[in-house]
A and B are shown apart, each in its own frame.
Chain A
Amino acid sequence: MGLAKRIIPCLDVDNGRVVKGVQFLDIRDAGDPVEVAKRYDEQGADEITFLDITASSDDRATTVHMVEAIASQVFIPLTVGGGIRTCEDIRRMLNAGADKVGINTAAVFNPEFVREAAERFGSQCIVVAIDAKKVSAEGEVDKWEIFTHGGRKPTGLDAVEWAKKMVEYGAGEILLTSMDRDGTKNGFDLGVTRAISEAVHVPVIASGGVGNLDHLVDGVIKGKADAVLAASIFHFGEYTVQEAKQRMTDAGIEMRL
């Protein structure tokens, strides 16, 4: 008996539709977000995360309406990330029915924003999203760096040190995406997942690279993640959330079935 590890399906949303790109190229339409969220809810998802990749701020209103619609029908925690830059953005998403918001690039350019947001809304709703890439060569001591702009721009920030700093500033949870793995279906970068999970006292969600159910098991057992996030393996019907939970349970992981 105890706390269960979580499975979090992630919906990348562009202008009101669920999409999934392979390393941000080749975007495939994966349906209506409300319908997709309801399907995952019925399958036993522990939370749902939306990543708003809408380019223009005009279309953000679409995202607010989408969150409202989903929050009226799906009674599990909802996280919204993408384009969260101000306390006003956070307030708008929380009022629409989000339980947590993900702060990514804005945290890199203005770490004080994380502190301000945590003080105003509470750490429980502030998820700091970290996009990391391995920068050490084979044979060297492992080192991961924070990247922005979809993994194109290096920042010089060490990923583990950055995660610790974000927790000090008030992050209640860390969403860690391995940018070299995202969309590859080769599995999480377990090294960085474990390094960060062991370095901080808040929960860590592993993301980026899930291609099969064993990857989810590895994320928890080898990567020490508290939750695992995946998108495409669920969107296109390869696996259901239920099947994923069963596999993790069979591997000895405590899950909510």
Chain B
Amino acid sequence: MSEIKKSTVAVIDYGMGNLHSVAKALEHVADDNITVVVTSDPAVIDAADRVLLPGVGAIRDCVGEMYNAGLVPSIRKAMAEKPFLAICVGIQALMSHSEESKGVDCLNHFQGNALFFGEKHKDYDGSKLKVPHMGWNQVKQTIKHPLWANIPDNARFYFVHSFYVVPENKEEIAGTCDYGLNFCVALARDNVFAVQFHPEKSHKDGLQLYKNFIQWDGKP
């Protein structure tokens, strides 16, 4: 029998509020060999086996706090070498730039921008669509990926956001959604995966995505 190694998932805390739900959902699907730590310590992030970048609130504050807390080098290092998952505003933080708050430069891991739906967003038939895009929408899996394992195509996930990402390289798109337009809600490149929705609020399919993440070896 091979030796069972304990592995650590670091949830990055950059002072933007509630990470309780993310940590509880990871703990819910983790077995005894997985430790979930919520941390703002670069050393802990560097030592972790997997890293999750949550995102809450405004993008300017998010990216600003990542820099202020001295976490950006550890985030870049993690994205270069181990399984890495970004959620909600986290996916926007990985883009080049966001339109939010009069324009914010982001981490530029994925080339492309985060754009505003607009307060006058409309459906294909011209009827009004509410912004934020809030609630359960269907996610089309546009590639095969270990993080989609055991999740049906077009499963519904919980969203709450007013900005959406537009990557330059369409081959990086892992999932899409429809809300007056077809837009990217999941990005994948090598060991990095990012989603616009909240897996921790998306019931069994969301928990399955977290389960897939804590078992993922980082290979696409």
Interface positions, chain A 1-37, Cβ under 8 Å from B, are 1-6
**A94-B18, A124-B160, A256-B156 given; A72·B24 CB < 8 A:** yes
Name which residue of chain A comes closest to B17, CB basis: A94
DSSP class of B's interface residues: helix, strand, loop or mixed? mixed
Which of A6, A75, A91, A201 sits near B202, CB closer than 8 Å?
A75
A5 to B: closest C-beta gap in Å: 8
Please tell me if B70 contacts chain A, counting CB pairs below 8 Å.
no
Please tell me if A122 contacts chain B, counting CB pairs below 8 Å.
yes
Cβ–Cβ contact A122 & B58, under 8 A: yes
Cβ–Cβ contact A76 & B201, under 8 A: yes
Most buried by B among A4, A5, A75, A98: A75
Which of A75, A99, A124 sits near B203, CB closer than 8 Å?
A75
Cβ–Cβ contact B154 & A1, under 8 A: yes
A3 vs B133: C-alpha distance in the bound complex, in angstroms? 8
Which of B130, B156, B200 sits near A203, CB closer than 8 Å?
B130
Which of B75-83, B135-143, B183-191 lies at the interface with chain A? B135-143
* Chain A 178-210: CB-based contact to B (< 8 A → 1; otherwise 0): 000000000000000000001001110000000
Interface size class of A (residues with CB under 8 A): 20 to 34
Interface positions, chain B 160-199, Cβ under 8 Å from A, are 160-161, 178-179, 198
A198 vs B127: C-alpha distance in the bound complex, in angstroms? 11
B114 to A: closest C-beta gap in Å: 15
Interface size class of B (residues with CB under 8 A): 35 or more
Please tell me if A95 contacts chain B, counting CB pairs below 8 Å.
yes
Please tell me if B68 contacts chain A, counting CB pairs below 8 Å.
no
Please tell me if A84 contacts chain B, counting CB pairs below 8 Å.
no
A76 vs B157: C-alpha distance in the bound complex, in angstroms? 10
**A75-B207, A122-B58, A124-B160 given; A6·B25 CB < 8 A:** no
**A99-B21, A226-B130 given; A121·B137 CB < 8 A:** no
Which of B21, B57, B133 sits near A121, CB closer than 8 Å?
B57
**A2-B178, A41-B203, A96-B20 given; A77·B158 CB < 8 A:** yes
**Which residues of A approach B to under 8 Å, CB–CB?**
1-6, 41, 46, 68, 71-72, 75-77, 91, 94-99, 121-124, 172-173, 198, 201-203, 226-227, 256
**Which residues of B approach A to under 8 Å, CB–CB?**
17-18, 20-21, 24-25, 28, 56-58, 119-121, 123, 128-138, 154, 156, 158-161, 178-179, 198, 200-203, 206-207
